[in-house]
Amino acid sequence: MNVPHEPDELLTIGEMSRRTGVAQSALRYYEDLDLIASVRTSGNQRRYARHMLRRVSLISVAKRLGMPLSDVHDAFGDVPMDSTPSHADWQRASRRWKLQLEERRRSIERLENELTGCIGCGCLSLKACALLNPDDALASTGVGPRRLDGIHDDEDSAGDER
Amino acid sequence: MNVPHEPDELLTIGEMSRRTGVAQSALRYYEDLDLIASVRTSGNQRRYARHMLRRVSLISVAKRLGMPLSDVHDAFGDVPMDSTPSHADWQRASRRWKLQLEERRRSIERLENELTGCIGCGCLSLKACALLNPDDALASTGVGPRRLDGIHDDEDSAGDER
DNA sequence: GCTTGACTTCAAGTGCGCTTGAGATCTTAC
DNA sequence: GTAAGATCTCAAGCGCACTTGAAGTCAAGC
């Protein structure tokens, strides 16, 4: 059952699950992926240090942002799992996460701006619109330059490849 | 305003694939899901109207944003598949997409602000940080436990930062 | 000590978003 | 007419992020 809290108490997987809203099975899965860690009781049951709550919560955030778990692993970087992370550890982690967020936001803003242009001209034209010419979607080309200028050039019939 | 020289010109699946960067198998899959549509030749091969290029490109955009295909279906709303969408059709669609983008951007901005607060105080504290606190209060956690022992942590501990 | 519920591992299954392969057919170029 | 290449369907497979189930173990209350 549940136990009152004491300073350096460890959490069972059930407590972790209840407090993070993440299923026990998912917690075990995260552990398999080395996103979190636990210690074991003499009877082989998992016990989590409290700072794992933060990690799990950040994993949830990442999921809300559509970030794959492999990236989450990287994003945690040097935040230690075997000891309580220091203030500085979390600060670095925060900054890393913030950069991730910024990147995503900027990419969305770019798309928004481009889409605004498309609404303006009503075109949604394929070749003129950077929105519709994503750099990463075309497997053949690496991360290449893309055109961001002239929204109006003409319509889809155009001579791009014809 | 958009007048292809040959209004009836249709694209093969290969052309669609090359021009959108989306695999043929994915195009067939999208068709199964009713995200796009084709007509068939007498020999049962798919032929795509040009405006399907836009739809496919928008699907790619959606994917970059982590939007599930079921939502994409909704996002297309009333943009017709069986005839060339009108200017107004695309305008409505554009606005719908823009709203989606705005929503995502705002949600990211919210997270960013919260994370900035966390960086400010250096806490990333569960109780203080809304980012990490979607669920319960967790008010009992202070800074956390002192330390924890032996955990298998096969991640390179490169950090050292301390 | 016993019971009950929380926990364990491992294997298999799920849903999404595709890809791959087999084997057949269509289209086009010569 | 023929050959090459593009496309067809259908079934199975894959990677991710888990969930579910079976069968067994642990921990706590009485």
3-state secondary structure of B47: strand
DSSP B79-136: --SSSPPPHHHHHHHHHHHHHHHHHHHHHHHHHHHHHHHHHHHT---TTT-GGG-SS-
Local confidence band at B58 (pLDDT 50, 70, 90 cut-offs): confident
Query: Residue B8: its pLDDT value, please?
Result: 64
Asked if B144's CB is within 8 angstroms of A50's CB, the reply is yes
Please give the mean pLDDT across all residues of chain B: 73
CA distance A27 to A53: 11
The answer to whether residue A96 neighbours chain B at the CB level (below 8 Å) is no
Q: Both tokens of residue B26? A: 């994915």
Query: Residue B126: its pLDDT value, please?
Result: 42
The answer to whether residue B121 neighbours chain A at the CB level (below 8 Å) is no
The answer to whether residue A127 neighbours chain B at the CB level (below 8 Å) is no
Q: Both tokens of residue A30? A: 């995260």
Q: What is the pLDDT of residues B17-28, one digit of tens each?
A: 999 999 999 999
What share of chain A in percent tops pLDDT 70? 67
CB B136, CB A140: distance < 8 Å = no
Q: Both tokens of residue A4? A: 């009152």
Q: What is the pLDDT of residues B118-159, one digit of tens each?
A: 655 555 444 445 554 443 333 233 333 323 222 223 333 333
3-state secondary structure of A46: strand
What share of chain A in percent tops pLDDT 90? 35
Dihedral through CA B28, CA B31, CA B37, CA B39, nearest 10? 50
Q: What is the pLDDT of residues A60-71, one digit of tens each?
A: 988 888 889 999
Q: What is the DSSP letter of A85?
A: P
What is this structure's pTM?
0.74
Asked if A108's CB is within 8 angstroms of B134's CB, the reply is no
Q: What is the pLDDT of residues A76-116, one digit of tens each?
A: 888 899 998 888 888 888 888 888 888 888 888 887 877 77
Query: Residue A121: its pLDDT value, please?
Result: 53
Name the more confident of B70 and B142.
B70
Mutation target vs B (from A5, A11, A47, A50; most B CBs, 10 A cutoff): A50
3-state secondary structure of A39: strand
Query: Residue B149: its pLDDT value, please?
Result: 28
Query: Residue B129: its pLDDT value, please?
Result: 53
Name the more confident of A132 and A16.
A16
